Amino acid sequence: MRTPIEPGVIKIFRLFVAAQAGFILLVSYIKTNYPVSFPEEFQYRESFSFLASILLFVYLSLPWLQHKLRNWYLPIALIAATITPLISNSFYLLMQAPGEPVNLIFSAYQLIPALFIPLVLIAWQYDLKILALFCIGTGLYDISSALMIANSLHLQSIPILGVVVIRTVSFFVVGYMVNQLVKTLRQQRKSLTEANIKLSLYANTVEQLAISRERNRLARELHDTLAHTLSGLAVQLEAMKTVLIPRDDEALGMLERALKTTREGLTETRRALKDLRATQLDDLGLKLAIYNLASSAAGRGNLVLDYQCKDDLGNLPPQLEQTIYRITQEAFENIIRHAQATCVSVCLGMEGNTLELTIRDDGKGFEYANETRENGLGIQGMKERAAIAGATLQFSSSRDGGTTILFRKENAYD
């Protein structure tokens, strides 16, 4: 009952009910305008079915009622659409002469069009258990009411049982086919949604890459033109100061102001170029960016570097890549400043869906509790970055035993 209503179910249901009411009106029109005789019990069933169809159509046309009843809205309508023809058929059979199997068989076949409406919608909306319950329930009700009207189970009533069994099996087969078709459509819709998401992510990645390349191109152009021009202008102004007559204080003041403005413009230009240029993560990706960072730090600290990247890291979230890069950067700064190490190893890779980064040095190490309490702003910042990324950061260190840093992020691609 808690299954979300599939798109279009209510609309199709309302259309079926309207068509049913229209058919009843057509039969009534034929009966009124043409000399066709109908049994009186047929007229009663016709009136009952028409009234039930109108009420069900009104029920299906009230959006506020759907909002109020929520998950019970469609089941109530389906139960009403199922019970109405069953009650109508039982009433029709009660009006017949008892013990006439031909009328009972004919009446059983008449239920097929009426029950097709809830049959198709149940197969469309729910699973096979609900479908089987509908088929078996309607069959048992029809058999019990027919046998009750036939007074007893005898040889002449066997065809009635056969007709109902055939109808029940046919209903289940038709419902099963509809259910499988809808299931296939749902799977295709889910696959299409996932493909659209992947396509959107790919388009966003391509867009970010294009933006990054354009920013880098613009930074190079400005560096080769504006920055060089301002640098040359500053050099020329400095040269003019050396040849300027010392007594010309006004000209010297103007020259100083021009030189100051040029230097400020050059500083701002370099700052803008630095902000404009993309980071190594944008240019190279995490794997090469970490390698360049480690190589550069190892060169500055006279360290022997052992770098290992086990796997292709795939498309990690940019925030996670930035976190790993900054943690590695801070770790190498601590190694160079404090560890007095000679060798450092970096291992980056995936273990299933878990990303792991291990940085190990052979330095003098430290006592983690004392270090974090006294001079641990860098370490604390590393742990805070890891916590924001939903990862864990573990330190293993001891005096003269080196230090190991382990970064772990589960479900790294989420």
Question: HSE on the CB side for 109, CA within 13 Å?
Answer: 8
* 306-to-103, 324, 331, 366, 404 alpha-carbon distances in Å: 91, 18, 15, 22, 14
Residue 406 pLDDT greater than 90, yes or no: yes
Indicate if the pLDDT at residue 103 is higher than 50. yes
pLDDT digits (tens, 9 = 90+) for 275-309: 565 466 766 778 888 888 888 888 888 899 999 88
Range with lowest mean pLDDT among 54-58, 132-136, 205-209, 287-291 = 205-209
Q: Rounded to the nearest 10 degrees, what angle do helices 377-388 and 318-334 cross at?
A: 160
Question: In one letter, which amino acid is 85?
Answer: P
Would you say 16 and 118 are in contact if contact means Cβ atoms under 8 Å apart? no
CA 194, 195, 200, 203: dihedral to nearest 10 degrees?
150
pLDDT-derived band of residue 198, with 50, 70 and 90 as boundaries? confident
pTM above 0.75, yes or no: no
Query: Amino acid letter at 7?
Result: P
Pairing between β-strand 343-351 and β-strand 304-309 as defined by DSSP bridges? parallel
The separation between CA 384 and the C-alpha centre of its own chain, rounded to angstroms, equals: 28
Q: Residue 339 belongs to what H/E stretch? A: none
Q: Please answer whether residues 222 and 273 qualify as being in contact, where contact means their C-beta atoms are separated by less than 8 angstroms.
A: yes
- pLDDT over 80 (residue 39): no
At residue 352, φ and ψ (nearest 5 deg) are 70, -120
Q: Enumerate helices (H) and strands (E) in the chain, giving the number of each.
A: 14, 5
- Percent of the chain whose pLDDT exceeds 70: 77
Contact 402, 341 (CB under 8 A): yes
Interatomic CA distance for residues 17 and 23, integer angstroms: 10
pLDDT at 367: 62
Distance of CA 120 to the CA centre of its chain: 30
Three-state SS at 277: coil
Largest CA distance in the chain: 137
Cα–Cα distance measured from residue 32 to residue 234, given in angstroms and rounded to the nearest whole number:
106
Q: Tell whether the model's pLDDT for residue 375 goes beyond 50.
A: no
| Better-predicted residue by pLDDT, 369 or 75 | 75
> Which range is least confidently modeled, 23-32, 83-92, 171-180, 278-287?
278-287
- Under the banding of pLDDT at 50, 70 and 90, the label for residue 41 is low
> In whole numbers, what is the pLDDT of the chain averaged over residues?
78
Rounded alpha-carbon distances, angstroms, from residue 323 to 356, 369, 390, 392, 412: 13, 23, 11, 12, 12
Q: Name the pLDDT band for 202 (thresholds 50, 70, 90).
A: confident
Q: What is the pLDDT of residue 133?
A: 92
State both tokens at 75.
């089941």
Chain centroid offset of residue 225 CA: 47
Phi, psi dihedral angles at 95 (to 5 degrees): -80, -10
d(CA 19, CA 16): 5
- How many whole angstroms separate alpha carbon 59 and alpha carbon 21? 14
User: What pLDDT shows up at residue 347?
Assistant: 92
